Structure 1
Amino acid sequence: MSPALAHTTRRNVLAGMAALPVAAHAASSAVAATPAPAGEGSGLSALAQRKGRRFGSAINWNKGTAGGSIQNPNYTRIIKAECGIVVPENEMKWQWTRPGPDKFDFARMDDIVRWTQANGIAIRGHTLLWHRPKWFPDWLNTYDFGANPVQEAERLLTTHIRTVTDRYRGVITSYDVVNEAIDHDTNGLMETSLSRAMRGAEGVLDLAFHTAREQLPDAELVYNDYMSWEPPHAKHCADVLRLLEGFRKRNVPVDTLGIQSHIENFSIDPATGVGPYREREWRQFLDEAVAMGYKLLITEFDVKDKALPAAIPERDAKVAEFARRYFEVMLDYEQLGDILAWGMVDKYSWLQGFAPRDDGLEVRCCPYDSEYRAKPLRDAIAQTLGAAAP
């Protein structure tokens, strides 16, 4: 089915679901607890799997029983009910797994993997290389690469990727190999200690993907980034397309574009009542990516509500509406695989600190509120998953 035909069909299906209006759900969500679905096949991943996808979420490790963690029984109840796949929020990143050039620490990541295996939930890998100095461990930013810097940089990078993929061989089959490699100040690739040692960032990224492919011939290798459909992301979308084109020209084994999907309501479009977005241009971006042979993933979905009204029923309805519009577009693409939220419960979301509201109220960005109650956002995701073409 063509994207245009699928888009029309899905709108017709959703229009027929008027018995489940988003706005009506918003009024009740603030006062009545809605538990995670208990029935077999009623969770979000079950809905997604009927159309050949999975729904999932980030999860993390915590010393106590709080947070969006495997140790929090209230959070894991939601994960087990709604998710067929999870991704570690931080525990696979270099800062947590690579305390030194020749040291590795997988204790927290191993705990997460054991938990997924005990509960029959799949797991993705995030990330083998976050190519930004801000997210390098301190030792890597100041590392002395010695008399043969290219060779030493290659050793550090390939050792890391081989060590991680060997450890989780047969368990993790989809990796964000490279995360966020573009420098928005220059519109080129980010410069790091590795790129300086190897005399160019392209060599770093290419080596990461080639090493991952040598290790995992059948795995899904993903370039992951945060371009989005809002107007301020236009230049970033162009930069990402240029990077994807370069991968193809150099025969770099990248299978999939990971679209983080931290969608934003930073201002209000009077015509829609939600944040401005560029549907036509966003479709053109997706069309160009899939025309190059890339598959698509939604890797880190949530909704920033900074400009939305304070009142919870109205705000929840607008968050759900904005997400519904976004998922209608994304689900038009048969190349779209799994869909993962970047957390399921509001109070544990990174957005509480990263994109706080000016009024100081809690950001309502996830499918469940801070009392572990399902919100209209959860309903909107379920409706669009249910209406998606196989």
Structure 2
Amino acid sequence: MRRRDFVVGALGAGLASSGALDPFARSHPTAKAADARRSIPYGSAVRTDLLVTEFDYRAAIVDYCQLVVGEGGLKWFDLRPSQDQFVFDQPDRLIAFADQNGMKMRGHTLAWYGAMPEWTQTIGSAAAAERELVHHITTVVGRYQGRIPSWDVVNEAIADHPESGATIRGSIWQERLGKRYIELALRTAAEVDPSAQLVINDYNIENPTQQCSDRRQALLDLLRDLKDRDVPLHAVGIQGHLPGDMDIDRDGLSKFVETVKEMQLDVLVTELDVIDNKLPAFEYDRDQLVAARAREFLEAIFDAAQPSAILTWGITDRYTWVPMWFKRDDGKPNRPLPLDAGCRPKALMKVIEEFTRAAE
């Protein structure tokens, strides 16, 4: 579904189930908006500097995407080099690019255990942690109020191996504030921008392993607790970094999505790619297996509910995080994304197009 075929309009399934407005809707649809009313927006994580230096990369984003999210830029490490300094260069440039090309930008992320600047280790008390987190969210969300419609407010809060009484991942926020940092982040973001979709984003919930089952349950328990206490929350982001050699727990994932929707929460696919380090070397075969794994994952979600957006963590194999952690033993390049290193579409893009057109 190239951009020229995806005419701007009332994009996505929206938040009808939660009673909220569609965060990705366009305020000024074109005359052909009716063509897009049944479509789900597709987007990609973007390396902002490359939009200036690599024409084919920029063209691919413009051609295929209705949404963008920065790979970096809004993470604490990039945004806060010192306690008294905010550097908005990257997100400002990305949102300008999005505005110029009729796209929406997602915000990633406000509270995360990772990519923290060293100075945050000097946060020594609960009062200091609360003050710093509130100041950060107030400043960042306030800068983009009304312009970034959807935020990953809390990223990867669930422990890798949840245990009774220890289901929340360790972080400076967890260590200083305990579990209440999650509520604090959500309430602060809601106060600063009441129109924004507030998302809890997490990973490793889709495979038929005990770990994934435990993480699904821990995440559901967290969501129920927040909902029971009327903490503002609108959606769950399912990242979807899929091990190519592992089946999808279709029943488990579908039931998870069904339960999330029963809580009147929306679902987004936020960081889809397929980790291919254990798949065959031959590129055609590998691309087909990557596409099949993504299809299995998306089918399990769609069996329960229609997500309001599908984003991949990058668009071209030329730029992907995967070889940093999952380099292939045979030395061949990883191929986890919808376009190859030359920005040509692969089987995975066809699968994504099929599902983004499948809205009803």
Tell me the equivalent position of 1:77: 59
Displacement of 1:190: 2.1
Q: 1:290 to 1:121 in 2, by over 3 A?
A: same
Question: What is the number of residues matched between the two proteins?
Answer: 332
Identity level (%): 34
Give the SS at the match of 2:109: strand
Letter aligned with residue 196 of structure 1: E
Would the aligned equivalents of 1:47 and 1:382 in 2 still touch at CA under 8 Å?
no
Tell me the equivalent position of 2:322: 351
In structure 2, C-alpha distance between the alignment counterparts of 1:288 and 1:356, rounded to whole Å = 36
Would the aligned equivalents of 1:231 and 1:278 in 2 still touch at CA under 8 Å?
yes
In structure 1, C-alpha distance between the alignment counterparts of 2:95 and 2:350, rounded to whole Å = 29
Letter aligned with residue 223 of structure 1: I
2:108 counterpart (126, 132, 143):
126
Tell me the equivalent position of 2:69: 87
Deviations 1:289-339 (A, max 9, x none): 111221100111111112211111111111112212222222334451011
Q: Does 1:56 align with 2:43?
A: yes
Letter aligned with residue 258 of structure 1: G
1:218 counterpart (186, 195, 204):
195
Tell me the equivalent position of 2:310: 339
Q: 1:333 to 1:80 in 2, by over 3 A?
A: farther
Would the aligned equivalents of 1:228 and 1:262 in 2 still touch at CA under 8 Å?
no
Would the aligned equivalents of 2:44 and 2:311 in 1 still touch at CA under 8 Å?
yes
1:363 counterpart (291, 312, 334):
334
2:208 counterpart (224, 228, 231):
231
Give the SS at the match of 1:124: strand
Deviations 1:121-155 (A, max 9, x none): 1101000111x2x4321111x2143xxx3322111
Deviations 1:245-301 (A, max 9, x none): 221223211110000011112x3xxxxxxx322111211111121112211001111
In structure 1, C-alpha distance between the alignment counterparts of 2:127 and 2:157, rounded to whole Å = 21
Displacement of 1:213: 0.7
Q: 1:209 to 1:234 in 2, by over 3 A?
A: same
Give the SS at the match of 1:223: strand
Q: Which has the larger radius of gyration?
A: 1
Give the SS at the match of 2:153: strand
Structure 1 gaps of 5+ residues are: 1-35, 268-274
Letter aligned with residue 191 of structure 2: E
In structure 1, C-alpha distance between the alignment counterparts of 2:184 and 2:5, rounded to whole Å = 44
Higher relative contact order at CA 8 Å, sep ≥6: structure 1 or structure 2? 1
Would the aligned equivalents of 2:106 and 2:151 in 1 still touch at CA under 8 Å?
yes
Tell me the equivalent position of 1:4: none
Letter aligned with residue 248 of structure 1: K
Displacement of 1:367: 0.7
Tell me the equivalent position of 1:375: 346
In structure 1, C-alpha distance between the alignment counterparts of 2:106 and 2:201, rounded to whole Å = 12
Would the aligned equivalents of 1:57 and 1:343 in 2 still touch at CA under 8 Å?
yes
Would the aligned equivalents of 2:247 and 2:293 in 1 still touch at CA under 8 Å?
no
Would the aligned equivalents of 1:357 and 1:363 in 2 still touch at CA under 8 Å?
yes
TM-score scaled by structure 1? 0.80
Structure 2 gaps of 5+ residues are: 14-35
When structure 1 is superposed on structure 2, of 213-222 and 285-294 the one drifting more is: 285-294
2:231 counterpart (236, 249, 252):
252
TM-score scaled by structure 2? 0.86
Q: Does 1:104 align with 2:80?
A: no
Tell me the equivalent position of 2:28: none
In structure 1, C-alpha distance between the alignment counterparts of 2:270 and 2:44, rounded to whole Å = 8
Letter aligned with residue 171 of structure 2: T
